Chains A and B, each alone.
Chain A
Amino acid sequence: MNKRTGRLLAGPYLFWMIGFVILPLLFVFVYAFTNSDGNISLEAFRTIFTATNAKAIGLSLELGLLTTVICLLLAYPLAMILNGLKIKSQSFIVFIFMLPMWMNFMLRILAWKQLLNKNGVLNAFLSLLGLPGIDILNTPAAVVFGMVYDFLPFMLLPIYNAMSRIRQDWIEAARDLGAGNLLILVRIIFPLTLSGVISGIVMVFVPSLTSFAISQILGGGKVLLIGNVIEQDFMQGNQWNAGSSLSMILMIFVLLSMAIMNLFQHDEEGTQLW
């Protein structure tokens, strides 16, 4: 097997990618730039520039950013603590955070719905402690809650991975050179985990920007995200052209995130999610 035949091994993959990744995206492209009769037209784009869609995109961006920030704030200290535990097997950590994913995504979100209900488990528990109940179900807050829940591992794992690659002697060297805990965090740990943080941000931001199931379930049908608009366009409204053009707009955000990620990872290979 010389270099040339070696390269041929990627053949099936190339074929697959062209057939099932590139071609489908071209279909979206074609639908976005045609009308329902199949003629080339910008009609679809005209119809999507409405206050409704602008609002949905705005809300999606807002909730997506909020989710990302909360995930980062939760995951970063967690990664530091986990890293400090010095658990021998790194795969154990990965496993324990991936374990909930083996349970069904729908079931877990549904369970949260039970927990957050006005007469749900959480409020029953709170009232037991004499605390005031919370009533966030069917609000954007519940959607953010659900998204943080679902996407937290995607933020944690890349950061934890980056952090576990930091050698103890770098920290000691910094301390030796006079850096206190805060300076070590700011000057050594954070810059060295930056690529993990960026990965995490992209891995959380993109799905939370485009989620539609969580907003449907935990938002009580009152929170309309861009994903919900697209889903309705395709599954109920029979407006495939408008849905495709909205998808194209969504792609712009996705490509932007990918570009940012690549910018920070010039020396890494691909994503370092796992």
Chain B
Amino acid sequence: MVKKTLSRIYIFLIFLFLYAPILVLAVLSFNRSDSRVSWGGFTLSRYVACFESESIMSAFATTLEITFCSAVIATIIGTLAAMGISSMKKRGQAIYLGATNIPLLNADIVTGISMMLLFVRFTNLGFVTVLIAHITFNIPYVILNVLPKLKQANRSTYEAALDLGASPVRAFFTVTWPEIRSGVFSGFLMAVTMSLDDFSITYFTKGAGVNTLSTMLYAQLRKGIKPELYALSTILFLTVLLLLIATNINGDKKVDNRLIRRVISAVIMLALFTGSVFVLVQQHRISGGGDRTITVLNYGKYIDGELLDRFERETGITVKYEEYEEPEEMYTKYKAGAISYDLICTSDYIIEKLIEEDELLPIDDSQLTNYENIDPALIEMSTFDPSHQYTIPYFYGTLGILYNTKDYSEDQVKSWDLIWDKQVSGHLIMTNSVRDAFSPALIACGYSINDTDPAHLKEAQMVLSRQKPMVSAYYVDETANEMIAENASLAVCYSGEAALAMDENEHLKYIVPDEGSNLWIDSWFVPKSCRNYQDALTFLDFLCDNEVALQNFEYVYYASPILYVQTHMDIDDRLNSAINPENRVTRNCEVYRALDNDTSAYLNTLWQELKSQ
């Protein structure tokens, strides 16, 4: 009896372990508060927002589409393969099964990378490459589910059917198929599960703009998760749970059991199928919008979506808008020739690198009627584009310290010295971006943030190593949430993050220390791959329009180079140094210069060394 109770408790604990995160997400999905920590009352608005969010719905649709298509194709290829393998001799079987084990047992990351290397050599990364990758890792699951059934299936019945005059195809469907059907179905289900759950392989084989739920979440994890996703996850979970309960309740009654199961699986199939068709049609509509289409690549959450609609309405130009998260990721893929765009927005030092590599087309500012709206000081500061002919500034900001006024006074944080001090131990969030982390360290050592002397970089690394034990975590985009939740009281971060955090927690303040810091400028450029130069310029001109820029500012909340915005924004915002760096501040700041390959690699090595300590 004691033993029974103990085992019950054990099972309960394991289930709690497995399902606790799901429950937490479900609870959070009804939370009115944006914070992930405190309860702000019950709401269903997340669910509404979830269905209204285009990015979530499109990632969800892509996920379903990839899952369903890859599972179906893998099931067909895998079932055929299993039949082929089962009619082979022992030796052949062993070889095939060995090969089947490779994608099954190989590390996901290696599978993903190997396919990425193959794909970028021959084609662009995109939906199809993800699909191929998923099919590849799904096939083994189908084979391993079907093969045992084929072994059990009696070959003589198949031969008997032939003997009785059935054609091979007919014999297969009337005799063999019923015996292996359950194996095929569980193989399919397995493939669906694996596909739904995959992250690593999708991550490496996806092109910019193609997101499954996993990769979208991974990207958002750094930008902060939208609470709508909790709603989506809860809906997903409940759907699956209901299906499970339905199949199992009916499992007791033997009579209709099979029929019901068949109906349910038919319903799932139909739902997946219609969903996929719907999305395919929609995607087709978006991509096949005629000649006047521009493909735009931008950071995630970096434009007001309404403006895109307005632009399309006003000009009749279709915008194929895609997002990315890490500039290095964009650069790597761009260099591999895996993506082609008409217009790209990215960070200063990446642009400098691309200019050096002669990857950009000059922008003819005479065609931009709104060019004079741009603050000339910002154009002047765009030192990464010395001839000022390749870029149009979009937003800018600083790197500084976000602090909680309950724990620190303004005097304390006026200098970078504080983040090297023992008293911040355990409360400090350091930035997880290589250059941003090195910048304060280089400043502390008395060097420029663009210093390339290996000895100086090494010195800066020493400073960072001494700091590491005191750092609570290295974050980039989670910083805001952690600071809002007061899990830390000091953070090195961008002004944009800081502005977001300060909006949520009144105790937070942002400062750029007196020693100076990085001033970053994100700008638009036209890559050589551009196919629709005229319309790309029309889009740029649109973005420089005063009212458009103001609306966009109110969404993005970073400092805008458009003079009109600087004078017409809300007075609080104007005084907010996080959003609007004062001249005193910007004077001390430097814009990043592109690093040469050796320095870049060396910096990366130093960073990895630091992380592994």
Contacts and interface: CB of A to CB of B under 8 A. Distances in A.
Interface of A: 1, 3, 6-14, 16-17, 20-25, 27-28, 31, 50-53, 55-56, 59, 74, 77-78, 81-82, 84, 88-89, 91-92, 95-112, 114-115, 117-121, 137-138, 149, 152, 202-203, 206-207, 209-210, 212-213, 217, 220-222, 224, 227-232, 234-240, 243-244, 247, 250-251, 254, 257-258, 261, 269-271, 273-274
Given A9-B81, A99-B241, A220-B472, 15 more contacts: A6-B84, A13-B80, A27-B114, A52-B612, A55-B612, A89-B248, A104-B217, A105-B198, A106-B199, A110-B217, A210-B109, A238-B332, A239-B601, A251-B110, A270-B143
A221 B611 CA distance: 8
Contacts, number: 308
Given A24-B115, A74-B14, A258 B105 contact: yes
A28 B21 contact: no
30 contacts: A10-B80, A12-B80, A12-B81, A13-B96, A21-B102, A25-B110, A27-B121, A28-B113, A50-B605, A51-B609, A51-B612, A52-B605, A55-B612, A81-B7, A81-B10, A99-B244, A100-B19, A102-B240, A103-B240, A118-B487, A119-B37, A149-B17, A213-B199, A230-B109, A230-B113, A236-B328, A237-B601, A237-B604, A238-B331, A258-B105
B418 interface: no
Contacts of B105: 202-203, 206, 254, 257-258, 261, 271
B169 to A, nearest CB: 8
B251 interface: yes
Chain A CB within 10 Å — which of B21, B83, B115, B331 has the most?
A: B21
A92 B83 CA distance: 27
B110 A232 contact: no
B116 to A, nearest CB: 7
B315 to A, nearest CB: 35
B218 A106 contact: yes
A235 B329 contact: yes
A149 B135 CA distance: 26
A92 B609 contact: no
Contacts of A105: 197-199, 214
Contacts of B335: 238
Nearest to B603: A237
Contacts of B241: 99
B43 interface: no
A186 B100 CA distance: 33
B139 to A, nearest CB: 7
Contacts of A114: 21, 24, 28, 36-37
B473 A254 contact: no
A236 B604 contact: yes
Contacts of B280: none
Contacts of A229: 608
B269 interface: no
A81 B7 CA distance: 6
B481 to A, nearest CB: 10
B545 to A, nearest CB: 35
A231 B486 CA distance: 30
Interface residues of B, number: 115
Interface string B4-23: 00010011001001111110
A118 B468 CA distance: 19
Contact of A235 (B10, B136, B172, B332): B332
Contact of B114 (A24, A112, A207, A217): A24
B248 A10 contact: no
Nearest to A95: B244
A104 B197 contact: yes
Interface of B: 7, 10-11, 14, 17-22, 24-25, 28, 36-37, 77-78, 80-81, 83-88, 92, 96-97, 99-111, 113-118, 121, 132-133, 135-136, 139, 141, 143-145, 147-148, 151, 168, 171-172, 186, 190, 193, 196-200, 203-204, 213-214, 217-218, 221, 225, 229-230, 233, 236-237, 240-241, 244, 248, 251, 326, 328-329, 331-332, 335, 432, 434, 468, 471-475, 485-487, 600-601, 604-605, 608-609, 611-613
Nearest to A74: B14
Contacts of A232: 604, 608
A236 B603 CA distance: 12
Contacts of A274: 141, 144-145, 186, 190
A233 to B, nearest CB: 8
A115 B99 contact: no
Contacts of B485: 117, 119
A138 B17 CA distance: 19
Nearest to A57: B612
Nearest to A213: B199
Given A74-B14, A202-B105, A235-B328, A120 B37 contact: yes
A81 B218 CA distance: 36
B472 A152 contact: no
B328 to A, nearest CB: 4
B68 to A, nearest CB: 14
